[in-house]
């Protein structure tokens, strides 16, 4: 070998790394799929949040006090203001919006999420006040509740209620007494509704609910006039403390009427005394009033309270039975019913032993 001869090691070229190349291709494919899914998802969300075609016709909605964001979103979707209630709730949550004020709002169909949220955040165009009339309230108690509303007067409400200006279809001719003919319920009152408007709503609601209960068929169902059925329902409302007793209390009233017996209903005496008693004393039973059913046979001249739907139903479909007496025998208000005076006296002793009489 000469000096110029140099031993050169053969050059080694490693084979191509096919595994790495494949991994890179796969990663690129995954990224492409993720990008497509993300793009598709964003496009889907964008069409939900900003529906094509733009806003449409006006939609007026009223949300009651206490309405949740879920209920509001559901109402907006059902009236086609927004496209997706659940997605809209997520949108509001991210923005930190809500809860929203009760009242009347005006939206448009196919509203964007942003526009609907802005209208809700702005507040209602008409605000509402809530008033709840419990079952068994007298017209004076209802007037007092109405008087708690801003700018309303209990005296003015009573004045309108006794003027004959507003009448119920169940009110007898020749009287201006709406006692028992106002439906006990929760009402949402607009700022521009005065005492007359509120009274009209209560009367109209009672007519609707009484008709639905079948009061117009009282003669065939219970053998009394519609107004008499309402009087019975009002006594049931005041006497029955638990739902299961309503039909039985109504049956006792009808059974005693059929036998010509005095009704001897304590709640009618309470009404005669002005309604401010929780218990009736023996001396109270002598009060001189047409509402005193311990002295006067038959029904009292008017209802003694506003009955709810359950008491109206009981007066029209009383529970079958021979009972003529009842007395409260448990602390939670359950009555024991009896057919004979001896049974009634035994039930009274039981009530006394339990300390509920």
Same domain, 243 and 335: yes
| b/e map 189-199, b = 16+ CB within 10 Å | beeebebbebb
In the chain, the percentage of residues whose pLDDT exceeds 70 is 89
Same domain, 247 and 328: yes
Residue where one domain finishes, among candidates 212, 237, 271: 212
Residue where one domain finishes, among candidates 72, 93, 126: 126
The mean pLDDT of 22-28, rounded to a whole number, is 59
| DSSP annotation of 355 | T
**pLDDT reading at 205 higher than 90:** yes
CATH of the domain at 102: 3.30.1490.480
**Domain annotation covers residue 72:** yes
**pLDDT reading at 2 higher than 50:** no
Question: Of the ranges 47-51, 83-87, 192-196, which one carries the lowest mean pLDDT score?
Answer: 47-51
For 106, phi then psi, to 5°, come to -120, 115
**Domain annotation covers residue 51:** no
**Domain annotation covers residue 246:** yes
Residue where one domain finishes, among candidates 192, 212, 232: 212
Q: What distance in Å separates the CA atoms of residue 63 and residue 71, rounded to the nearest whole number?
A: 9
Could you tell me the pLDDT band of residue 152, with boundaries at 50, 70 and 90?
very high
Count of CB atoms situated within 10 Å of the CB of 50: 15
Q: Give me the number of domains the chain comprises.
A: 3
Convert the pLDDT of each residue in 311-321 to its tens digit.
Answer: 999 999 999 99
Q: What distance in Å separates the CA atoms of residue 207 and residue 185, rounded to the nearest whole number?
A: 13
pLDDT at 65: 80
Same domain, 345 and 309: yes
pLDDT at 126: 79
Question: With contact defined as beta carbons under 8 Å apart, do 145 and 137 qualify?
Answer: yes
The mean pLDDT of 106-122, rounded to a whole number, is 93
Same domain, 182 and 306: no
Same domain, 205 and 224: no
Q: Which domain holds residue 165?
A: 130-212
**pLDDT reading at 69 higher than 80:** yes
pLDDT at 4: 41
SS3 142: helix
Same domain, 340 and 225: yes
**Average model confidence (pLDDT) for the chain?**
89
Question: Which stretch of DSSP H or E encloses residue 59?
Answer: strand 58-63
* β-pairing verdict for 58-63 and 103-108: antiparallel
In the chain, the percentage of residues whose pLDDT exceeds 90 is 73
Question: Of the ranges 53-67, 126-140, 229-243, which one carries the lowest mean pLDDT score?
Answer: 53-67
**For residue 342, which of 354, 329, 328, 325 has the smallest C-alpha distance?**
325
Q: What distance in Å separates the CA atoms of residue 316 and residue 325, rounded to the nearest whole number?
A: 19
């Amino acid at each position: 070998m000469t000096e110029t001869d140099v031993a050169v090691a053969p050059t080694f070229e490693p084979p191509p790394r096919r595994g790495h190349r494949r991994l890179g291709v796969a990663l690129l494919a995954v990224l492409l799929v993720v990008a497509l899914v993300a793009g598709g998802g964003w496009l889907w969300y964008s069409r939900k949040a900003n529906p094509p075609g733009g806003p449409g016709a006006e939609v007026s909605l009223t949300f009651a006090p206490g309405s949740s964001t879920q209920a509001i979103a559901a109402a907006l979707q059902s009236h086609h203001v927004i496209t997706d209630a659940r997605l809209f709730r997520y949108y509001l949550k991210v923005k930190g919006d809500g809860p929203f004020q009760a009242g009347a709002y005006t939206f448009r169909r196919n509203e964007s999420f942003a526009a609907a949220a802005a209208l809700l955040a702005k507040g209602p165009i008409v605000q509402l006040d809530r008033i709840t009339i419990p079952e068994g309230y007298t017209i004076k108690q209802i007037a007092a509740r109405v008087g708690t509303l801003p700018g309303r007067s209990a005296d003015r409400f009573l004045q309108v209620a006794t003027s004959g200006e507003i009448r119920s279809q169940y009110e007898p001719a020749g009287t201006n007494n709406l006692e028992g003919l106002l439906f006990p319920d929760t009402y949402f009152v607009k700022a521009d509704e005065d005492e007359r408007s509120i009274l009209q709503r209560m009367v109209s609601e009672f007519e609707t609910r009484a008709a639905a209960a079948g009061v117009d068929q009282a003669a065939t169902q219970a053998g009394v006039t519609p107004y008499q059925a309402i009087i019975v329902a009002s006594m049931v409302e005041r006497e029955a403390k638990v739902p299961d007793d309503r039909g039985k209390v109504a049956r006792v009233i009808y059974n005693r009427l059929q036998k010509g017996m005095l009704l001897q209903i304590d709640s009618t005496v309470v009404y005669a005394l002005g309604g401010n008693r929780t218990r009736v004393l023996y001396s109270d039973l002598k009060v001189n009033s047409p509402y005193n059913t311990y002295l006067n046979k038959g029904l009292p001249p008017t209802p003694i309270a506003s009955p709810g739907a359950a008491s109206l139903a009981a007066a029209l479909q009383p529970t079958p039975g021979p009972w003529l007496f009842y007395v409260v025998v448990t602390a939670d208000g359950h009555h024991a019913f009896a057919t004979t005076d001896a049974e009634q006296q035994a039930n009274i002793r039981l009530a006394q032993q339990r300390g509920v009489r």
